Each structure stands twice: as C-alpha cells, then as structure tokens.
Amino acid sequence: MVRIIDVCSGKGGVGKTTVAANLGLALQNFGKKVAVVDCNLTTSHLGLLFGFHNYPITLNNFLKGEARMEDIIYMHHSGLRIVPASLELRDLIDINPSNFENKLKEVFQDFDIVLLDSAPGLGREALMALQVANEVLFVANPFITSLVDVVKCNQLRNSLESKPIAIGIILNRMRKKAYEISVDEATQFCELPVIGVVPEDEKILESTNNRSLVTLSYRNSNSSKAFFKIAAKLVGIEYEKESFLDKIKKVFGKHRSKM
C-alpha cells in the first residue's frame, strides 16, 4: 500500500516545500518509487524548485474536472515524479477536491511514497491534504511561534475521523544558536518526536536560484546529508555513517582554519 505523507506546517516560510522536494529526491535515492504533489494551490512553489515555470496542465485542472490525474504527472530529469499546481490566480476558481483522495490512491497505487506539499496553516487547502494522507510530517523552525503552530496542526489532525499517523517534526534551518528551541524542548512542547534536523545552509538558496535542489547540486553539503538521513529513517534504512576519511578531512580543515 502506498504511503501518502502530508508534509505540513502551521505557517508559511518555514521551508516546507524545500523539505518535501529534497526528501522526495533522497527517498528515490534509496530505491523508492516517489512522487511529490503540490497541494498548495494558492501559493504553489514546488515546480519552481525543480526548474519548471510553465506546465500545460496542473493539479488545478484536475480539481476543476478539466484533466485526468494521469495526465498531470511530470517526470523530473532525476526520475522523480511531480504533480504541480498552477501559478495562475484564475486557476483557483471552481476547484472541487471531492474526488482527489480516491484518484490519488488509484493512480499512485504502485508507488512506495507520495509526499504532499501542503498549504501552510489550517485552511481548506491544508485540510484537503491532511484528509488524504495516512501519515503526517510537520516542518517547523526552532522558535516558539513555529512550534505553537505545529501544536495547532496536530490538534486538527487529532480531530479528524480517520486521523493520519503523526510521524514527527523536522526542525528546519537550525543555526546552533543558544536562543533556539532545542530538540528536547521541541519534543516536550509539541508532544511529538523530532525525527530530524536540517541546518541553515546557503547552498539551499544557491541551488534554488540555480533552478536545482541541494540534494542534487551539493550532495555533500550539511543540509543534503540531513535530508538523506531523515529519508533513511522514514524507510527504515541505516544511513551510512561518516567515514574515517571524512573525519580526517573535518579535523584537518578545522586546524587549517586556525592557522
């Protein structure tokens, strides 16, 4: 049975789409058949991260009854499947999500994982993704305001009749500052496990502006390694630990910087 995972957040700007896209690529790297679906209809960005700006038909067309879901699946050059949403405001009119769940499960039944890039918050679009998913992954920044929103999202999840399983939280854009909420504090406050931490990394921004993703462009960057580690945990694979040679390079580089 396909795992449909809602990648969600209580507010925008926490890096949810970046997490969903890079997790998709990392999961595929482990031999999984993966698709990423842009459920953020109002402010869709998923396609932009993969370097595409113009799709002939999108998820909006399916939700308006103008296209089949089979026809709105695009393959990135990495092999990852993407279902984009429209960038046009006019495509928000006459949206009807009533057949979304059944068709999603039918079309992707032979996939291992489908990641839903949810709209942020607790509105109609966010609820659409939450009701379709059988698992939920929360994305937050290490600040109390962001974690309060995770608690609200989790309360919404708990209120659903067939509530999806909460996998846990990804703390994104960690800077290792004393003022940040720690992993233990986030776990205690949200009553959810933190399954991974992604550090602040300028390579992510550089990749985005180069119409790529950090897990493709900078495989050995700190953020990229974090995405692979989280992906491995999601599918129960032991992630390759740091090699002895990597440790030598790290120590040698540290000493050189002090010279």
List, as one string, the DSSP characters of 93-113.
Answer: TT---TTHHHHHHHHTTT-SE
pLDDT in tens, 124-182: 889 999 999 999 999 999 999 999 999 999 999 999 988 999 999 999 999 999 999 99
Task: Tell me the CA end-to-end span of the chain in Å, nearest whole number.
Answer: 56
The angle formed by the CA atoms of residues 113, 92 and 211, to the nearest 5 degrees, is: 55
Domains of the chain: 3-258 (3.40.50.300)
Pairwise pLDDT comparison (21 vs 249), residue with the higher score: 21
Distance between CA atoms of residues 223 and 200, nearest Å? 7
The pLDDT of residue 8: 96
Query: To the nearest 5 percent, what fractions of the chain are helix, strand and coil?
Result: 45, 15, 40
Measured CA to CA, the distance from residue 198 to residue 227 in angstroms comes to: 7
Asked if 136 and 157 touch (Cβ cutoff 8 Å), the reply is yes
Q: What is the pTM of this model?
A: 0.90
Q: Band the pLDDT of 252: cuts 50, 70, 90.
A: low
* Integer Cα distance of 95 and 82 in angstroms: 20
Here the tokens at position 242 are 């740091």
Would you give the DSSP letter of residue 34?
E
What does each C-alpha distance from 155 to 166, 215, 226 come to in angstroms?
Answer: 11, 32, 28
Read off the pLDDT of residues 48-74 as tens digits, 9 standing for 90 and up.
999 877 789 999 999 999 999 999 999
With beta carbons less than 8 A apart as the criterion, state whether 169 and 140 touch: yes
Q: Look at the block and give the residue holding tokens 């910087």.
A: 257
Q: Mapping DSSP to helix (H, G, I), strand (E, B) and coil, where does residue 45 land? A: coil
Q: Of 80, 23, 69, 11, whose CA–CA distance to 215 is shortest? A: 23
**Residue of 186, 258, 158 whose CA lies nearest to 14:** 186
Cβ burial, residue 202 (10 Å; 0-12/13-18/19+): exposed
Q: Which amino acid is at 90?
A: R
